[in-house]
Amino acid sequence: MAFEETAARRSIESVPLSHVSLELGHLYIEEFAGGVEQLRRHFNRIAPWVAAAKQACVARTPAGRARISTCFLIDDYFTRFSTPREVVRQLEEATQGTGLVIDYFARESGCARADDVPLADLVLTQLVSDPVPQTTGDRPPTTETGWLCNGKRSPVQGPAQAMSGSLGWMPPVQNAANRHSIFLDVELWDYEENGERRWSCPFLAAVWQLMRLGLLRYEGEGVTNPYQLDDWPDDWDKLPAVVKLNPHAAPFSAYRTFSVLGSRFLPVEHAVRTILSQVSVSLAVLDQIHTRSRAEHIDLPKDLVERVEYAFIGE
């Protein structure tokens, strides 16, 4: 009788992939305060950058047959406002005449939990901290502290031993710094109550990128499959994590992502890239996607961070 690990026998679901997932916005309650006209100004402002991103995708896609999908993320995690039905109505009205179409509508709460799958907790278990040279690892792990950095922190000055001199201040140091360090320490959550953490915006945004890249699996199955709705609920909690608005849209997830964001998101996305650089994705999932990309003659970077692109524009 032969025995083997259940995980070894579990198949890895293959999810549909576009060539690029284009994010048209990641907006909060203040962006909706001005109504449809304020939203329309947003879409008119980003339209040239979206067109450039599409053109770049077509140029690097064999035969120019690019599969491009668009998405829009709404904050229902930190602030609840309006209803899904009203927000989608405003968005669809605001895009009219801009040349833009929103294919997928997503909730930020869905980056924490979707379809009863704890996505944020799932990604937390996949974090592998970047080892710091010449350290003993005496600091508690990221999964306990809720803080993740890209190098060596300044040492904490405790009581000095008798007859010993003061160690003095020492600066933090970025791993693999290019001449000078750009050190970053990222908060992943700020408090925990009854087993539930309040995740930070950068960590949820990192989960969002992994969702769009099609890299998350739960027990071998894909997560956050988009739903098409005949009727919109008034309660955000009753809305799926990702909703398909355009029935003719290319797949939600993609080989690469491109986000057109306001410049205020630059520090958040710096943190996102730091987090992504320390996420260990299943080798089976990575191999599956690389096999598919090679079959399509697509040059796909091995480094996950290099698959994520942006245009940051003024407000």
- For tokens 């980003």, the residue is 46
Mean of pLDDT over the chain: 88
What percent of the chain has a predicted confidence (pLDDT) above 90?
A: 67
Three-state DSSP at 114 gives: strand
Query: Domain spans of the chain?
Result: 13-111+203-263+283-313
Chain segment 194-212, per-residue pLDDT in tens? 888 999 999 999 999 999 9
Task: Please report which residue ranges of the chain form alpha helices under DSSP H.
Answer: 6-9, 29-32, 35-59, 84-95, 119-124, 142-145, 201-212, 266-276, 283-295
With a CB cutoff of 8 Å and minimum separation 6, the contacts of 155 are: 167, 170
CA–CA distance from 33 to each of 27, 37, 74, 87, 261 (Å)?
Answer: 11, 10, 14, 11, 18
- φ and ψ at 84, to 5 degrees? -55, -40
Per-residue pLDDT reduced to its tens digit, 25-73: 988 877 777 889 999 999 999 999 999 999 999 999 988 889 999 999 9
Q: How confident is the model at residue 133 (pLDDT cuts 50, 70, 90)?
A: low
